[in-house]
Amino acid sequence: MNEMTTIDRTQREYSQAAKDFLARKPQLFINNEWVDSSHGQTIDVEDPSNGKVIGQIVDASDKDVDRAVAAARAAFDDNRWYGLAPMERERIILRIADLVEQNADLLAELEAIDNGKPKGMAMVADIPGAISHLRFMAGWAGKTGGQTLHPYTRPTGSIFGYTSKEPVGVCAQIVPWNFPLLMACLKIAPAIAAGCTTVLKPAEQTSLTTLKLADLIAEAGVPAGVVNIITGNGHTAGDRMVKHPDVDKIAFTGSTEIGKIINKNATDTMKRVTLELGGKSPVVVMPDVNVEEVAPGVASGIFFNSGQVCVAGSRLYAHRDVFDDVLEGMSKTASFWAPRASLDPEGHMGPLVSKEQHDRVMGYIEAGKRDGASVVMGGDAPTSDGGYYVSPTILADVNPQMSVVREEIFGPVVVAQRFDDLDEVAKSANDTCFGLAAGIWTRDVAAMHKLAAKLKAGTVWGNCHAMIDVALPFGGFKESGLGREQGLHGLDAYQETKTVIIQL
Ligand code: ADP
């Protein structure tokens, strides 16, 4: 653990391209133009690696939101996007993907500066992830349609019935700060592939890469008003988006707490809603595993992105026979995951996104200790030049009543418990209001399938964790969400089904 305290966490100098981007005037992207806010209020942008203010973004007013929604409404209603040949829409979305790829280095640096994640991680995870969503969804633009259906209660041939898939309309898309560009592309790609128009708001903590994406969207030839990017606070700008009468659909990724508020607020106008919310995902390690291979995988399942991942494997259940060895194996990864400044090329884990998040996570660790948990690894906030670092942390001697076991911490903190048999661990794993994801590590194929069937989670991983692929649907059971994103399910969330019945 000593090596962590000797790491130099001074942030590296930004590239000239990043400095130029940060020096831009804070503006909003509406109708493919950079426009001033109606009231000129801004939010500071901070580098979480040292807590320094490095720029400003607009804190959008109600008027700004209204202006963006009006632009999206007009672009939808006059058919300037959905009315194009699907081949052309596909080609434009593919062009956005190409431009993201060409700008990968700057985007990864901005993500590192803004969110705190290591630039190298952004290069291998966030940016390729964003590109894959755009490319996969682009292909659906030309492959939507409907079915011809025969009647059941009328004579065959007396009715011509068919369905048609149509875009839902104007979307309000609100995303969190943990994978900013990836989340923006994950939202925008299916919306515009389906023919919708959108207003997207990144999180107030991490708007930089989405603002850069706006440049690329215009450059790719997306018609004006189809994608509008506004920055601002959730309880003001986000709230206005959710309640706006001209918005047809809300897509939100964020906390369960805010997801519930949004779902209620969307009800009055019966907006279509998809929610991707929090989790407290269990990871089950069976006694047959090769611990040396599995322990680093389990560690990566919680420490990747500083544990600021909705699917983070934050509740470890290791079989009694391997419990100590798994914890020892995970502890050996401490120096790999030792937090470093986000532009340090040696880094695999950066600081947390903000002071608020740092204090929240440290508060949970302290609460865990007070409740009787023992610290197997980490548990501290390493010294730095004002950054928001938390050491990768393993807590043992916990029980299901503790807040560290029950609540989503959204930090690099895993709670470890022992189990003896499958039924017992399935019960413990399901003892949560969340149901986003779960992991199982075993070579026993029968045990894998039996447990996968018992776990109440939208995604179950076997011998891996947090493996996300745009072709595979993603979403939560229970309080972890509503609806599914990705794959054909993800496109469907942006479509209405129209049934046409013609008497012949
Ligand atoms: P986190 O806890 O990860 O910060 P939140 O759920 O608070 O996540 O925020 C995720 C996104 O939701 C952010 O873009 C934020 O601005 C937005 N948001 C927060 N509160 C509201 C709200 N009341 N209505 C709409 N959007 C909101």
Separation CA 484–CA 491 (nearest Å): 9
Tens of pLDDT, residues 98-124: 999 999 999 999 999 999 999 999 999
Answer whether 235 contacts ligand 1 (Cβ < 6 A).
yes
Distance 262 CA to ligand 1 centre (A): 9
495, 194 in Cβ contact below 8 A? yes
Dihedral angle sign, alpha carbons of residues 142, 143, 145, 148: positive
Which one, of 414, 472, 323, lies nearest residue 461 by Cα?
472
CA of 258, closest atom in ligand 1: 6
Distances (CA, A) of 378 to 327, 357, 361, 408, 468: 12, 17, 13, 18, 28
Q: 460-493: per-residue pLDDT in tens?
A: 999 999 999 999 999 999 999 999 999 999 999 9
Q: Write the Ramachandran bin of 247: left for phi over 0, alpha for psi from -120 to 50, otherwise beta.
A: beta
pLDDT for 3 beyond 80 = no
Q: Express each pLDDT in 79-88 by its tens digit.
A: 999 999 999 9
What is the distance in A from the centroid of ligand 1 to the CA of 254?
6
Distance 1 CA to ligand 1 centre (A): 35
| pLDDT over threshold 80, residue 349 | yes
Q: How many CA atoms lie within 13 A of 197 on its CB side?
A: 29
Indicate the top mutation candidate among 179, 181, 258, 305 to test ligand 1's pocket, ranked by most ligand atoms within 8 A of CB: 258
Alpha helices in 8-155 (DSSP H): 16-22, 62-77, 86-102, 104-115, 119-121, 127-140
- Residue 232, ligand 1, Cβ within 6 A: no
- Per-residue pLDDT tens for 145-176? 999 999 999 999 999 999 999 999 999 999 99
Query: If DSSP codes are grouped into helix, strand and coil, which group holds residue 35?
Result: strand
Q: At what angle do helices 422-429 and 445-454 cross, to 10 degrees?
A: 40
pLDDT band at residue 384 under the 50/70/90 scheme? confident
Ligand 1 neighbour 263 (Cβ under 6 A): no
The answer, yes or no, to whether residue 41 has pLDDT greater than 80, is: yes
CA 234 – ligand 1 centroid, Å: 5
The pLDDT of residue 4: 46
Q: For the chain, give the longest Cα–Cα distance.
A: 81
Mean pLDDT of 194-220: 98
- Which of the 8 DSSP states describes residue 169? -
Which residues are the active-site residues? 276, 310
Q: Find out whether 219 and 99 touch, Cβ atoms under 8 Å.
A: yes
Q: Which residue's CA lies nearest to atom 2 of ligand 1? A: 255
CA distance 268 to 219: 37
Place of tokens 């670092």: 389
| Mean residue pLDDT across the chain | 97
Q: How many CB atoms are closer than 10 A to CB 100?
A: 25
C-alpha 276 – ligand 1 centre gap (Å): 12
Angle subtended by helix axes 180-193 and 127-140, to nearest 10: 0
| pLDDT exceeds 60 at position 49 | yes
Check pocket membership of 310 for ligand 1, CB cut-off 6 A. no
Distance CA 74, CA 70 (A): 6
Residue type for 254, please? G
Residue whose pair of structure tokens reads 């069976």 in the numeric block: 286
Cβ neighbour number for residue 53 with a 10 Å cutoff: 9
* Ramachandran quadrant class, 116 (left: phi over 0; alpha: psi -120 to 50; beta: rest): left
Cα(364) to ligand 1 centroid in Å equals 21
Closest ligand 1 atom number to CA of residue 253? 10
Q: Which atom of ligand 1 is nearest to the CA of 174?
A: 14
- Please report where in the chains the tokens 């609540």 appear, as a residue: 407
Are 294 and 327 in contact by the 8 Å Cβ rule? The answer is no
3-class DSSP state of 385: coil
Amino acid at the residue 152: Y
> What pTM value is reported for the model?
0.97
**CA terminus-to-terminus distance, the chain:** 79
Beta bridge partners of 165: 497
Query: What is the C-alpha separation between 337 and 357, in angstroms, rounded?
Result: 18
> Using a 6 Å cutoff on CB, does residue 408 contact ligand 1?
no
pLDDT at 385: 84
pLDDT of residue 335: 95
Could you say which DSSP state residue 305 is in? Answer: G
Lookup: tokens for 462: 């076997």
Query: What average pLDDT score do residues 327-351 get?
Result: 97
43, 59, 174: residue to mutate for ligand 1 pocket, most atoms within 8 A of CB: 174
